[in-house]
Amino acid sequence: MLLEVSSSASSLSAGIAEVAFVTARKSWCERWVSDEGASNTRVAVTGRELRDRPYELLVQPTHFTDLSAPIHAWALGLNQNGALVAVADFGEHPFVYKSVNKYKGVFQSFARHGSTAGYVTSDGCLCAPGLPRIGNGTGTGCDLDVVSSLPRLIDTAGCELGPDENQLTKPVCDGQDYGDGADRLVPCFAKRGSDGCSVAVRTCHDRDSIGFMGTCAPEATAPLLPSAALCDAYSACENNPCGDIDRCFRTTAPRTTDIHCTLRVSVENTGKVQLCNPTATSPLPPANATACLAILLGGQKQAPLTMALTGTGQPEGTTSCPPTLGITAIDAVHSELPPQITFDMMIGDKLARVVVAFAIGCNTAGGGDAFSCQ
């Protein structure tokens, strides 16, 4: 098959200096795995206007190729720093015996995603927002970060998670359905032009081998943070685009002191747990009172609790001082209620670990201690 890549706009203006071709097949673990042939092809196109002079690549099957099995092909437009600036999709096609078919792909700008990361790893994996995650098939290195579907993980030997992966223990934007919830919005941190570090949201699709739908691109109205520390930490984690960016960020971002809360609950005769006061809120500790921006990194639902930050902004985030946290619902039975849960918040330009301990029994004297943090 002949792959022809061109550009609808000026490839020179887009800064495309190199074209990297990637072809991939669905493996028996329901993962995309790159083909060793065309996926190793990189072409320097500095100074070439692909809009006027498209580039063509001939891709040939080997004697071992199953001609009936389709391959999916892409062309990646990389700038001089190796960052992904454009993508061309040739679609999914089989080889045809005694025939050479041409398929055309047109570069679409990746600038709409605010891309700054490379997305193509040094050992040959591709994990770009909006595209399926593609491993190199070696079973080592970055290939361990490209996971199989949950059914294949369970019933097929050789499709196990890598030794450092934790997809089964908490939500991870890895492109596969592990019960994390599709198309969920998650906070992220990136520079807003020359203004400084800002917080934004990005969509985690987490289905069909596609992780994030776009990179972190703060809007012009997105709030600015007091320093660049969180943006620097998040950007560093994006340098491993096939890894768990969220876990990396929570591990490496600067932190403030832990926040310890007590939530009083009652237990019905059926064993169902109820909040003693579903409207109770607590300001966060005085040490954080001057931080006028707070965000629940995992969103409002932190099983078994549903919570909200009150004040100016959305329930997941507030710009009010001091930040005030409330627990609005609980979904648990007494036999399964843990002693406490932990989750992370952003307060100011640092992360804080929040520990919510459960206390059985309501205070009938007024309920002022139904929820308190310190």
User: In the predicted model, is pLDDT for residue 145 greater than 70?
Assistant: yes
14 membership: H or E segment, kind and range: helix 11-14
DSSP code for 218: -
Give CA–CA dist 222/166, Å, rounded. Answer: 31
Q: Are 179 and 219 in contact (CB under 8 A)?
A: no
Peptide bond between residue 322 and the one before it cis (omega within 30 degrees of 0): yes
* Averaged pLDDT score across all residues of the chain: 86
Same domain? For 248 and 289 the reply is: no
- Overall number of domains in the chain: 3
Same domain? For 227 and 136 the reply is: no
Instruction: Please tell me the predicted confidence (pLDDT) of residue 265.
Output: 94
In a domain, 161, yes or no: no
Mean pLDDT, residues 13-30:
89
pLDDT greater at residue 160 or residue 237 = 237
pLDDT greater at residue 139 or residue 183 = 183
CA 365 to each of CA 105, 270, 277, 314, 362: distance values in angstroms, whole numbers, following the listed order: 71, 25, 12, 32, 9
Same domain? For 233 and 330 the reply is: no
In a domain, 200, yes or no: yes
Within 10 angstroms of residue 310's Cβ, the number of other Cβ atoms is 15
User: In the predicted model, is pLDDT for residue 249 greater than 90?
Assistant: yes
Same domain? For 14 and 73 the reply is: yes
113 pLDDT tier (thresholds 50, 70, 90): very low
Same domain? For 246 and 265 the reply is: no
Two tokens, residue 140: 């080592």
Task: Report pLDDT digits (tens) over 68-101.
Answer: 888 899 999 988 888 788 899 999 999 998 899 9
Instruction: Please tell me the predicted confidence (pLDDT) of residue 369.
Output: 83
Range of the domain at 288: 259-373
Same domain? For 7 and 127 the reply is: yes
Same domain? For 145 and 34 the reply is: yes
Task: Report pLDDT digits (tens) over 253-310.
Answer: 999 999 999 999 999 999 999 999 988 899 888 656 566 788 888 888 888 999 998 8
User: In the predicted model, is pLDDT for residue 250 greater than 80?
Assistant: yes
Mean pLDDT, residues 220-247:
88
User: In the predicted model, is pLDDT for residue 163 greater than 60?
Assistant: yes
CA of residue 57 relative to chain centroid, distance:
32
Same domain? For 150 and 110 the reply is: yes
CA 372 to each of CA 81, 151, 319, 354, 368: distance values in angstroms, whole numbers, following the listed order: 50, 42, 20, 12, 8
Q: Give me the helix-helix angle, 245-252 and 229-238, nearest 10°.
A: 140
Same domain? For 90 and 12 the reply is: yes
Write b or e for each residue in 121-144: b if 16 or more Cβ atoms lie within 10 A of its Cβ, otherwise e. beebbbbbbbbbbbbbbeeebbbb
In a domain, 88, yes or no: yes
In terms of Cα–Cα distance, which of 244, 250, 253 is closest to 171? Answer: 244
Instruction: Please tell me the predicted confidence (pLDDT) of residue 367.
Output: 52
Same domain? For 327 and 207 the reply is: no
Of 252, 274, 309, the residue that ends a domain is 252
45 pLDDT tier (thresholds 50, 70, 90): very high
In a domain, 9, yes or no: yes
Q: What does 248-307 look like in DSSP terms, one character per residue?
A: HHHHHS-B---EEEEEEEEE-TTSBEEES-TT-EEEPPGGGTT---EEETT-SEETTEEE
3-class SS at 97? coil
Please list, in sequence order, all residues whose beta carbon lies within 8 angstroms of the beta carbon of residue 116, skipping any fewer than 6 positions away: 83, 190, 215, 235, 238
Of 139, 155, 171, the residue that ends a domain is 155
Give CA–CA dist 234/246, Å, rounded. Answer: 8
User: In the predicted model, is pLDDT for residue 117 greater than 80?
Assistant: no
Q: What is the CATH number of the domain that holds 278?
A: 2.60.40
pLDDT greater at residue 115 or residue 169 = 169
Task: Report pLDDT digits (tens) over 314-323.
Answer: 767 888 888 8
Same domain? For 198 and 274 the reply is: no
In a domain, 179, yes or no: no
Ramachandran quadrant class, 52 (left: phi over 0; alpha: psi -120 to 50; beta: rest): alpha
Mean pLDDT, residues 151-165:
76
Instruction: Please tell me the predicted confidence (pLDDT) of residue 123.
Output: 82
Of 200, 222, 252, the residue that ends a domain is 252
Instruction: Please tell me the predicted confidence (pLDDT) of residue 114.
Output: 47
Mean pLDDT, residues 53-63:
90
The segment with the largest mean pLDDT, out of 136-150, 160-174, 244-258, 287-301, is 244-258
pLDDT greater at residue 166 or residue 295 = 295
112 pLDDT tier (thresholds 50, 70, 90): very low
The position carrying tokens 């003693």 is 276
Same domain? For 201 and 133 the reply is: no
Task: Report pLDDT digits (tens) over 347-366.
Answer: 888 999 999 999 999 876 65
Give CA–CA dist 309/302, Å, rounded. Answer: 13
In a domain, 350, yes or no: yes
